[in-house]
Amino acid sequence: MPTDCVRNDWKKHEVLDLYQLPFNDLLYLAHRIFREHHDPNKVQVSTLLSVKTGSCSEDCAYCPQSGHYDTDIEKERLLALEEVKEHAEAAKQNGASRFCMGAAWRNPTDKNLEQIVQMVKLVKQLELETCVTIGMLTATQAQCLKQAGLDYYNHNLDTSPEFYGNVITTRTYQDRLDTLEHVRNAGINVCSGGILGMGETREDRAGLLLQLANLPQHPESVPINMLIQIKGTPLHGIEKLDPFEFIRTIAIARILMPKTYVRLSAGREDMNEQTQALCFFAGANSIFYGETLLTAKNPATIKDQNLFNKLGIEADQINSQTQETTTVN
C-alpha cells in the first residue's frame, strides 16, 4: 500500500482488511504514514470547557447532559464571558494551544450564537486557537462563526450510519453531515470523529472511519473517543471494548487520513499508560488536556506531563493547521 496517498474513495472491504492485519503489521504501516506527515514526538494539546451544561433535548444514549435521562448532571446557564476568559487563560498557562467550548444544545438560537461569538472573539485575543461544539448549524450561522474568527468546529458523526439509530433518534445522520458541510463551506476547520465501545461491531467502526475518510476533504481533526459509561444513561453497564481494538481503530484512522490530527480523546482516564503509548505510536497526535471533559473526568495535568516525559513527547505549540486551511467558497 502506498504510504503517501491521500484518498477519499475508500471501500468498506479495504478498511475491514486493515482490521484483519496482524497487530504489529498494522502499527508498522500506521507509524510509517504517521512519520511521513507529522512529527511523532509532538502532540497538539486542547482544553475543553462546558460553557452551558445539561438539559439538552437530544437523546444521545451516551450523554449525561441529555434531558431524557436521570443523571447527576445539573442544568447550568451559559457561562459569563469573564469566567470563560479565566478558564482560557489557565488553559494557555498549562500548555494548551487550542481552547474548545461546548454547549448542550440541539442547535443554537441566533441569540445563543451571538453570545458564543463573543466568547470566540475573547479567546482569540488570548492568542489561542478556538473551537466550539454547540450542535447543528445553518449555513448562515457557520458564516457568522467564521467572521468571528473561529478556527475549528466540532460535530461528531459518533458511529456508522447503520448503527446510528441505536444511539440517537432525535436527529438524523444526514443532519450531522449537513452541519459538517456548512462548516466546511464557511472555511472553518472541521473536527469530527466518533465514540467506540457503544455496542457497535467492528464493521460499524469501519463504517464510521469510512464516512470520515470519504468526506470531500478530510477533517483537520478526528477525535476518537472511548465511551465513558455514566450511570443513568442507556449505555451504562455495556460490555467494554477491548483496548487492542481501540488501538487498531486509531491506527486505521491514521492510515485513512494521513494528514489529519487524530485525537486520543475521551476515555483516557480509564486507559493505562501502555495503552496510551501504543495509541501515540499508532498515530494519535492530539489530546484533551485538563481534568474535566465537559462533565466527565480526564487525566490530571501532572499525569499527562509525566507520561509525556516518559515517552519524550512535547506539546506542539505551532498553530500551523489553522494557517494551512483552504477556504471553500
H helix runs in the chain, sequence order = 12-20, 23-37, 81-93, 110-125, 139-148, 173-185, 202-213, 243-256, 273-282, 301-311, 320-323
Is 100 assigned a catalytic role? yes
Is 35 assigned a catalytic role? no
Which of 248, 263, 268, 279 is flagged as catalytic? 263
Alpha carbon distances (Å) from 201 to 70, 172, 260, 262: 27, 20, 24, 21
Is 191 assigned a catalytic role? yes
Which of 131, 184, 205, 268 is flagged as catalytic? 131
Is 60 assigned a catalytic role? yes
H helix runs in 38-94, sequence order = 81-93
Which of 60, 171, 184, 279 is flagged as catalytic? 60
Q: 54 with 78: CB under 8 angstroms? A: no
Single-letter code of the amino acid located at 140: T
Is 279 assigned a catalytic role? no
Is 131 assigned a catalytic role? yes
d(CA 71, CA 90) in angstroms, rounded, equals 29
Which of 100, 184, 205, 248 is flagged as catalytic? 100
Which of 98, 171, 176, 191 is flagged as catalytic? 191
Q: 244 with 273: CB under 8 angstroms? A: no
Residues taking part in catalysis: 56, 60, 63, 100, 131, 191, 263
